[in-house]
Structure 1
Amino acid sequence: MSASSRADLPEPQQPLLTTVALVASCVAFVVIGALQALYGPAIPALREEYGISPAVAGFSLSAHFIGALLGVLVYHVMRGRLNDRVLLGGSYVLMAAGAVAFAFSPSWILALVGTFVTGLGFGGIDYGLNQLFAIGFGNRSPAMLNLLNGHFGVGAIAGPALIGWLGAEDYPEVFVGIGVISLLLMVTLGGVAAREPEPAPAGSAPAGGARVLPVIAVFIGIYVLHVAIETGVGGWEPTHLEAVGYGAATAATATSAYWAAMTIGRFVVAPLSLRWSAPSILTVCCAGMAGFLLLATVPALAPYAYFGVGLMIAPIFPTCLPWLNRAVPGVAAAGAYVIAASMIGGVAFPPLLGALIDTVDVKTAPLVLFALAVVCTALSLWLRRNAPDRGGVAARSGTGRTDAVATRGT
């Protein structure tokens, strides 16, 4: 999952999170990681229970991401009026209520309402905890953010594996469990500080003389497309693998492996980022996504190709956010808006891919995703030319000072 770089901020006078609240935050990210990854493996049971088509079943993901998008925006707007304890508590309640409603819904329409409410809580927890970790640990914030988002990957691995073990028809019990854990996490909110330190002033002009709006727009495009690919693979990989001859258990296991690759990829890229610039990592990852998605059209290679796609997607979110902040240091809210806009891919793409499956064949899914990855690669090349990451490169060459100044106030 993703967060802004705050490595240059001074250590706060008092911690924003106690040890108990820190552990609870990591558990919360396990929960939201599992939640996002559960919809795809549950689709066969949803289709059977409600008598719906693949395109209609895909709206479960869309309703979730619409809610998540609004959850991010509402949390961002309300942070000036309410403290994080209240906002996080409300997010946990919404996620619990939505998960239980989805599990016990008597109709598909009400089930979609449940996924929307769940998404509202999901978005608030995702944005709120990332923000707290970004500003709450001073120079240790980047390491803590990696720890936090690594737990998202743990949940994304465990969710489909649990569905594969229990059976897709038992998805209601899993969603009820998510609701119960969400409510239990509220007990730890006393460990969240009521006030946050004031951020440092924002910088001035964008790096390299690039124009601000086009640069932000291209970053948004990359985020929308890579999230579309991420959710497209996570949601429809099981269906595609079953269509080309794999069993349901194998397809669910392969989906878990895909989410595992996204977790592994974030750890693998950490040492590489000390030697490679953010533009280089982004370009390689986008091109790699395209290559592996092309390989996924070959049935014998498809499960392994999807694992490769996960490895390539993993570094994009955490790599691009610090680069964005250095490229447009005068736009303090750029990171928040890009995170929110990235969810458009999760909102729009699942039903579009489902409609294509209805009219053509599920075997075309990798080719559609490949086309998106090609566009993503083209956008990454444009950014390399128009928003070079000079601050990041300077820091990696050992000066350190340029990067700290460039990211101040992000």
Structure 2
Amino acid sequence: MLQALYGPAVPGLRAEYGLSPSGAGLGLSLHFTGGVAGVLAFNTIHSRISNRTLLAASYGLMAAGSAGFALAPNWPLALAAAFLGGLGFGGIDYGLNQLFAVGFGDRSTAMLNVLNAHFGIGAVLGPAVVAWTGPEHYAYAFGGCAVLAAALIPCTKGVGTEATHDEPAQASASLGLSRVLVGFLALYILNVAVEAGVGGWEPTHLETVGFSASVAASATSVYWLMLTAGRFLVVPITLKYAPERILTVCAAGMTACLLLALVKGVAPVAYAGVGLFIAPVFPTGLPWLNKALPQAKRAGAWVIAASMIGGVAAPPLLGVGIEASGIHAVPLLLTVLSGASLVATVWLIRLTRRDIE
């Protein structure tokens, strides 16, 4: 929810601080920058603190950052607060995904999809909260997030208190050279790039090909709803099929849907299909990663950080490609990224099978 508040709050931020559109967008950028730093920082100290401490500290940072953003008297302090909240966001993203990936045994893939579906619910609720309060009253939405995050700190008492044992030094050294890890990094960067690219450029593309602004906005909302629903729908499937088989179908499906988005008449439905197919990728890939690299328990932190980098870098890089080829090429550019993720998935299957043999 916190991450999803920044975009809808832009009109209120511009009025409050006298910002340009790009200046107001820095709030989300600093949030994601803090997120990447939070993932890497908590990954570094995880061996010296308990899982409970990791989650409690992360919620504390989110609460402080959200409250600071709501109450900041000037824009530099608001940006600092956005970075602070992002640190906590990164800790929660890393901490919960990592705990779910290793804590549920054979059910980890299913439970990770349930977890990330709830992340999606928050992303849908965020804009709804700002719409309800009005962009000019964005501070109430951020203040509400601060209260909720603080209230969750005592709820971490159900989490184990033992510190996590660090992996052997030799495993850590080999981690940086692993082709398997490189493959997973590429897979996550590409998939989150597609996810963010569709979310950022779908409405512009649909308006350009002749749909009204309201239809384009509604279709984009449906895309995010399908992304959330897809994680619930895939849960029973994860109990029957291996993660790598699910990811192969997902990559092929979203590539086909993006090609269909080139056809005007079915473009909104095709984008919804992309949301459905891309939904399981992030949570389903983590158990596969832990199985493929059991000696490197912290590999998950690197792919989660890489996914955030993909989300930050994709929209502006796609913008460069769109300037060169036009808005009509949006589905084609995204198809290239999606096709590359399919290639990365097939390559990873070959690598992991070879390692098992």
TM class by shorter chain equals 0.7 to 0.9
When residues 373 and 91 of structure 1 are mapped into structure 2, their CA distance, relative to the original with a 3 A threshold, is: same
Structure 2 distance, partners of 1:179, 1:321, is: 29
Q: Which residue number in structure 2 is paired with residue 290 of structure 1?
A: 255
Matches within 5 A, 1:232-311: 232-241=197-206, 250-274=215-239, 276-311=241-276
C-alpha separation between the residues in 2 aligned to 1:165 and 1:299? 33
Residues 167-213 of structure 1: CA deviation (Å, up to 9, x unaligned): 55554432222122112212323343321576999xx9xxxxxx972
Shift of 1:229: 1.7
Partner of 1:83: 50
- Give the structure-1-normalised TM-score: 0.71
**Structure-2 residue corresponding to 1:117:** 84
Question: What is the one-letter code of the residue matched to 1:52?
Answer: S
TM superposition shift of 1:75:
1.2
Contact 1:40-1:238 within 8 A present in 2 as well: no
Residue type of the partner of 1:186?
Answer: I
CA distance in 2, matches of 1:303, 1:171: 30
CA-CA distance at 1:238 after TM superposition: 4.5
- Give unmatched runs, 5+ long, in structure 2: none
CA deviations 1:145-181 (Å, max 9, x no partner) are 4433332122122223444555555544322221221
Please give the alpha-carbon distance, in whole angstroms, between the structure 2 residues aligned to 1:276 and 1:35. Answer: 34
Is 1:52 aligned with 2:20? yes
Please identify which structure carries the higher helix content: 2
Are positions 1:337 and 2:302 aligned together?
yes
Does structure 1 residue 219 correspond to structure 2 residue 184? yes
In 2, Cα distance between the equivalents of 1:53 and 1:357? Answer: 20
Q: Tell me how far 1:322 sits from its aligned partner.
A: 2.2
5+ unaligned residues in a row in structure 1: which ranges? Answer: 1-33, 205-210, 392-405
CA change 1:134–1:376 in 2 (3 A) is: closer
Q: Deviations over 1:273-301 (max 9, x none)?
A: 45544333222222322232333345553
1:195 has 2:162 as partner = yes
2:284 is aligned with 1:316? no
Identify the residue that residue 339 of structure 2 maps to in structure 1: 374
TM-score by length of 2: 0.80
Backbone CA RMSD of aligned residues: 3.7
SS at structure 1 position matched to 2:234: helix
Q: Is 2:114–2:235's contact at 8 Å kept on the other side of the alignment?
A: no
The 1:286–1:165 alpha-carbon spacing in structure 2 relative to 1, beyond 3 Å, is farther
User: Could you say what secondary structure the match of 1:149 adopts?
Assistant: helix
The answer to whether the 8 Å contact 1:161/1:253 transfers is no
Q: Deviations over 1:307-339 (max 9, x none)?
A: 111111111122222222333333332223222
- Aligned identity (percent) is 52
Q: How many residues align?
A: 351
CA contact (8 A) 2:113 2:235 kept: no
